[in-house]
Amino acid sequence: MHDTDSQTQAGAPEQDAGAPLEIDRGFTYRVTIASLIVGVLLAGIAALILFSLTRPLTADEQGNVNWSISGILFPVSAVIVGSILFWSVFGLPLRVARRRGVILDPEIYPWIGAVLLTALFSGAFLLAMLLGVI
């Protein structure tokens, strides 16, 4: 009998650690939107820093291009900003949910991030067209 009691007590912490996590749809929306806001702030700071260092490529009298690291910072900054936004929508919510012990709703999590990023990029593109940047 003593052997059975020790097995039950030893198994009890394992049951608590392996308890099923809850799926929370409201938390999924909140954490995805909050993560996107964090990503936009981080990407905005990175873009301002990198775009301020960007200088156009210049040519000399013979037509040779003078290459410099600042001449390629525009595409580099676009990749960095895109990576930050991708991480903030598809990576950060998973990490927050894991720490809180919640499962993001699998029916809405991946596509809500994609829809938010599409809306953000479409709105930025439309605003750039209206302001005459593009």
Residue 3 lies in a domain: no
In the chain the first and final C-alpha atoms are separated, in Å, by 79
Helix axes 73-90, 109-130, angle to 10 degrees: 140
In 10 A of CB 31, how many CB atoms? 21
* pLDDT confidence of residue 8: 46
**Contact predicate 110/93, CB 8 Å:** no
Single pTM value for the model: 0.70
| Both structure tokens of 116 | 């938010």
Confidence check: pLDDT of 133 > 70: yes
Residue 5 lies in a domain: no
Residue 78 lies in a domain: yes
Q: What is the pLDDT of residues 32-70, one digit of tens each?
A: 999 999 999 999 999 888 888 777 777 778 878 777 777
| Percent of the chain whose pLDDT exceeds 90 | 35
Q: What is the pLDDT of residues 85-102, one digit of tens each?
A: 999 999 999 999 999 888
Residue 116 lies in a domain: yes
Residue 103 lies in a domain: yes
Residue 2 lies in a domain: no
Q: How many angstroms separate the CA atoms of 37 and 113, rounded?
A: 12
Residue 62 lies in a domain: yes
DSSP 3-state of 106: coil
Residue 75, domain extent: 22-130
Domain count, the chain: 1
Residue 29 lies in a domain: yes
